[in-house]
């Protein structure tokens, strides 16, 4: 086997010098020479699987047969190995449907080749370091831990593919920065504390080194023994040589795989996928999708179409660039009208059609204007966690314009956009839940306080007035006691709705302040206009008739107001004075408006 190591050393050196990068080739070439010399010094050893005598009887050395990677070698773990081993040196991108299976096959072949190299290295290690109980190579696992990638062992209690969390046990120490080796010769703890045995195997010695490539820890090589003080510094040198060789071999194999597979895709897709992940706004995602289509696809019109109600029948063109964009922008239609684009939503399939000059085939709806110049259409659904409620459409005046390559490019960006949309909508929903009152749907106390302080600053900057109105439903407890809390909840919803209808959307601010109390902030409003708005709200609520079974009833509202900066130049004082005015309104008979005096 020493000849093999000398051959590999020459191969590394030759490739390095021919490629002009001899420094990179020097380390693995030197490692091969060290292992070759080590093996010759060690002489011939009993071959794996051969019976040895010892102790009171005989025992058989067990070698895990090829492939050397059983339980840990699940398809999921093998797919994750590249990313874990490279530690971020390359970003995995691209999941095109047409290339997914080809990638799996190529990666499986790569992993098998790496497995073969690792197993050969372990066999050499066993010959050069006699007396070992288990020889193993560990690679990066999830959560910065390690898993046993391949092993040669005499034990029947080795945990196949054992996973060690970071810093777990003696071997876990090899994942710590600054630890260059583990060398223990008087282990007295139960072997299960090593975390790769299922029972006590009387392991007394252990040696191990990290796999270091480019200064990053990417695994470990270990050997243990049932004898005390079985290993020394020479053992560590041999482990280092193998770790260096296997580390560089795996690293450059994975890097070559990643570079080759993604070279043509990264330039166009990475930038837009990054933009998707950076944005939590649905509007921004639509803009980036539109820009991607216009930049990377050859067409004459680019459209983004969405359902106006999730899972509903109504849809509209939310964005359009290109021919007749002003006419197409905002065009509304029904998916049930059976235009071609509706199939992308209803069937969740890609539509790639070429059209004759006549007759006109509806793309969206029979009501659309006939655009005979468009001879090709490509529509791709955007899948989200809630199904398909958006589609990307490209049209061209050239017949049969869009190939399978165009389909794959647009499908890739559609999947990235779908993932980003799911995240953006979830984010928006969480934001809304955090800022809105769950019953009435208006903003809650906390959100009001945040926005109110900003409005105070704005009023200060532009020297504007600002009105705050505290509102409380009179005798609301009687409503709950007489008709029940469900009816009381309905009253609160209706009152919130009436207030919302009487203030300026997007300018004024309404919040549920607690219980049956609401607060309204009227921006850039003086006392006279605030009074008009408050009286309109009070009268509308008093006129509203509520029902509980056969019983009809009405409620009234008391309102207290304060004006910035007339009553105070401090936000918290304005709120306090509006609250005092509300208290005064209740004291003086309820169902009335009182301003702070």
Q: Domain residue spans in the chain?
A: 1-41, 45-52+60-261, 282-427, 445-595
DSSP-derived 3-state class of residue 58: strand
Alpha-carbon 186 to chain mean position: 46
* pLDDT reading at 262 higher than 60: no
Select the more confidently predicted residue: 83 or 146: 146
What integer pLDDT is reported at residue 590 of this predicted model?
94
State the average pLDDT over residues 197-215: 94
How many Cβ atoms from other residues are within 10 Å of residue 528's Cβ? 8
Model pTM? 0.40
Asked whether 541 and 432 are in contact (CB, 8 A), the reply is no
> Among this protein's residues, is 96 annotated catalytic?
no
- Count of CA atoms in the C-beta half-sphere (13 A) of 291: 13
What integer pLDDT is reported at residue 258 of this predicted model?
67
* pLDDT reading at 527 higher than 90: yes
- Measured CA to CA, the distance from residue 76 to residue 332 in angstroms comes to 45
Q: Kindly indicate the confidence band of residue 212, based on its pLDDT and cuts at 50, 70 and 90.
A: very high
Catalytic residue among 111, 494, 516, 587: 516
Helix axes of 97-128 and 22-42: crossing angle, nearest 10 degrees: 40
State the average pLDDT over residues 503-522: 90
129: tokens are 């370091």
State the average pLDDT over residues 173-194: 92
* pLDDT reading at 382 higher than 90: no
Q: Which of 253, 255, 258, 319 is nearest to 285 (CA)?
A: 319
CATH H-level superfamily of 445-595: Reverse transcriptase/Diguanylate cyclase domain (3.30.70.270)
* pLDDT reading at 503 higher than 70: yes
pLDDT tens per residue across span 429-444: 666 556 678 788 888 8
What integer pLDDT is reported at residue 265 of this predicted model?
46
State the average pLDDT over residues 351-380: 78
Query: Tokens 């530690």 identify what position?
Result: 87
Whether the domain at 45-52+60-261 and the domain at 282-427 fall into the same CATH topology = yes
What integer pLDDT is reported at residue 431 of this predicted model?
61
Task: Please give the CATH topology (third level) of the domain spanning 282-427.
Answer: Beta-Lactamase (3.30.450)
What integer pLDDT is reported at residue 383 of this predicted model?
84
Select the more confidently predicted residue: 128 or 24: 128
What integer pLDDT is reported at residue 47 of this predicted model?
34
What integer pLDDT is reported at residue 323 of this predicted model?
83
Select the more confidently predicted residue: 18 or 401: 401
Instruction: Give the chain's mean pLDDT.
Output: 79
Select the more confidently predicted residue: 26 or 175: 175
CATH H-level superfamily of 45-52+60-261: GAF domain (3.30.450.40)
250: tokens are 């795996």
Alpha-carbon 335 to chain mean position: 31
DSSP-derived 3-state class of residue 548: strand
Find the range with the poorest average confidence among 92-106, 108-122, 221-235, 386-400.
Answer: 92-106
Q: Kindly indicate the confidence band of residue 220, based on its pLDDT and cuts at 50, 70 and 90.
A: very high
**Strands 557-564 and 593-595, bridge-based pairing:** parallel
Q: Kindly indicate the confidence band of residue 45, based on its pLDDT and cuts at 50, 70 and 90.
A: very low
């Amino acid at each position: 086997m020493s000849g093999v190591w000398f051959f590999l050393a020459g191969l590394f050196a030759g490739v390095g010098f021919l490629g002009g990068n001899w420094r990179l080739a020097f380390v693995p070439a030197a490692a091969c020479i060290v292992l070759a010399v080590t093996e010759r010094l060690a002489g011939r050893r009993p071959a794996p699987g051969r019976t040895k005598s010892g102790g009171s009887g005989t025992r058989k050395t067990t070698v895990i047969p090829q492939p050397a990677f059983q339980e840990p070698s699940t398809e999921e773990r093998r797919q994750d190995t590249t990313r874990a081993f490279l530690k971020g040196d390359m970003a995995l991108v691209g999941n095109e449907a047409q290339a997914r299976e080809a990638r799996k096959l190529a990666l499986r072949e790569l992993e098998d080749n790496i497995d073969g190299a690792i197993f050969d290295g372990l066999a050499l290690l066993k010959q050069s370091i006699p007396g070992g109980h288990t020889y193993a190579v560990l690679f990066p696992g999830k959560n910065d831990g390690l898993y046993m990638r391949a092993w040669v062992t005499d034990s029947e209690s080795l945990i196949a593919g054992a996973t060690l969390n970071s810093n777990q046990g003696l071997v876990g120490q090899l994942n710590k920065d600054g630890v260059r080796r583990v060398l223990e010769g008087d282990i007295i703890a139960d072997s299960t504390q090593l975390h790769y045995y299922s029972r006590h195997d009387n392991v007394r010695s252990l040696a191990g080194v990290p796999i270091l490539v480019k200064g990053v820890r990417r695994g470990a090589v270990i050997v243990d023994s049932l004898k005390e003080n079985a290993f020394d510094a020479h053992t560590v040198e041999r482990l280092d040589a193998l770790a260096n060789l296997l580390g560089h071999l795996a690293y450059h194999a994975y890097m070559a795989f990643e570079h080759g597979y993604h070279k043509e895709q990264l330039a166009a897709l990475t930038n837009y996928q990054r933009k998707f992940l950076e944005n939590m706004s649905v509007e921004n995602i639509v803009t980036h999708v539109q820009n991607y289509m216009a930049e990377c696809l050859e067409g004459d019109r680019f459209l983004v179409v969405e359902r106006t109600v999730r899972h509903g029948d109504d849809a509209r063109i939310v964005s359009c660039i290109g021919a007749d964009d002003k006419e197409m922008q905002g065009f509304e239609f029904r998916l049930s009208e059976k235009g071609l684009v509706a199939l992308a939503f209803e069937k969740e399939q890609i539509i790639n059609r070429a059209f004759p000059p006549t007759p006109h085939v509806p793309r969206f709806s029979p009501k659309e204007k006939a655009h005979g110049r468009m001879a090709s259409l490509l529509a791709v659904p955007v899948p989200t966690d809630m199904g398909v409620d958006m589609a990307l459409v490209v049209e061209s005046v050239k017949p049969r314009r869009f190939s399978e390559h165009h389909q794959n490019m647009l499908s890739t960006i559609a999947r990235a956009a779908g993932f980003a949309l799911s995240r953006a909508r979830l984010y928006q929903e969480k934001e809304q839940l955090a800022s809105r009152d769950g019953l009435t749907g208006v903003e809650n106390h906390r959100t009001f306080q945040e926005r109110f302080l900003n409005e105070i600053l704005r009023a200060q900057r532009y020297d504007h007035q600002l009105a705050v109105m505290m509102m409380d439903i009179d005798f609301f407890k009687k409503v709950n006691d007489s008709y029940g809390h469900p009816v009381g909840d309905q009253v609160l919803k209706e009152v919130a709705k009436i207030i919302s209808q009487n203030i300026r959307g997007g300018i004024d601010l309404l919040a549920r302040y607690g219980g049956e109390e609401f607060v309204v902030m009227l921006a850039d409003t003086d006392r006279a206009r605030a009074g008009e708005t408050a009286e309109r709200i009070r009268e509308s609520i008093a006129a509203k008739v509520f029902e509980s079974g056969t019983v009809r009833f009405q409620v009234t509202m008391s309102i207290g107001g304060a004006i910035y900066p007339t009553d105070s130049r401090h936000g918290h004082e304005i709120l306090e004075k509006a609250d005092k005015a509300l208290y005064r309104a209740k004291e003086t008979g309820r169902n009335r408006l009182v301003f702070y005096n």
